[in-house]
Chains A and B, each alone.
Chain A
Amino acid sequence: EAGVTQSPTHLIKTRGQQATLRCSPISGHTSVYWYQQALGLGLQFLLWYDEGEERNRGNFPPRFSGRQFPNYSSELNVNALELEDSALYLCASSFNREYSNQPQHFGDGTRLSIL
């Protein structure tokens, strides 16, 4: 069974540009979560999508946004990139929240570097 896949593996941008990161969940999973893992800060929750809708959002500015498609894949968009956005962005998926407390399974992330 294929795990969570993320693309691209590495993305290099300059300040002010926009970045789009993509995630395909495990087959059968309908919830997708996005996290930022910056050096020394641990995993910070960004967004949670379930059945195409945004269910929860972490303490990040509105320039971090995303969406979930009908096939449950998801993309994360970061506008007006800043140097501090340099981090590993991780996507995780789980079964529908109706099965509450389902564990999340992670992809290997997209490393975003801002020059």
Chain B
Amino acid sequence: QKEVEQDPGPLSVPEGAIVSLNCTYSNSAFQYFMWYRQYSRKGPELLMYTYSSGNKEDGRFTAQVDKSSKYISLFIRDSQPSDSATYLCAIGGSEKLVFGKGTKLTVNP
């Protein structure tokens, strides 16, 4: 079983839609959870960082963590064409950070 699994998509939505991106993980020792956005030919950019179960909101983005199910989500409200990118989840412990393979999102105007 892979440590972190993420549906690679691709995911295509119309502008204004709510987007849901998800990852599952296998190691219950993982303590903190991040979402990165990566545009083409650029490095990953940190979007959200949390280390507790529940929701964390930042503007149009909400990160949700369910440690009991080992499941994390990123929701994007009112999606914009500029949100078109690859989204990577990253889950880690004190010595290790494991990335999902990324979900490619396209928001169509």
Contact = CB atoms under 8 A, between A and B. Distances in A.
Nearest to A55: B95
A41 B95 CA distance: 21
Contact of B45 (A42, A56, A106): A106
A56 B96 contact: yes
A42 B99 contact: yes
A35 B38 CA distance: 14
Interface in B73-109: 88, 90, 92, 94-102
B43 A107 contact: yes
Contacts of A40: 101
B49 A90 contact: no
A59 interface: no
Contact of A4 (B43, B88, B97, B102): B43
Given A90-B43, A106-B43, A107-B43, A101 B101 contact: no
Interface residues of B, number: 24
A74 to B, nearest CB: 15
Interface in B16-57: 31-32, 34, 36, 41-46, 49, 51
Contact of B44 (A97, A101, A106): A106
B100 A42 contact: yes
17 contacts: A4-B43, A41-B101, A42-B99, A42-B101, A45-B96, A45-B97, A45-B98, A56-B95, A97-B94, A101-B31, A101-B51, A101-B94, A103-B34, A106-B44, A107-B43, A108-B43, A109-B42
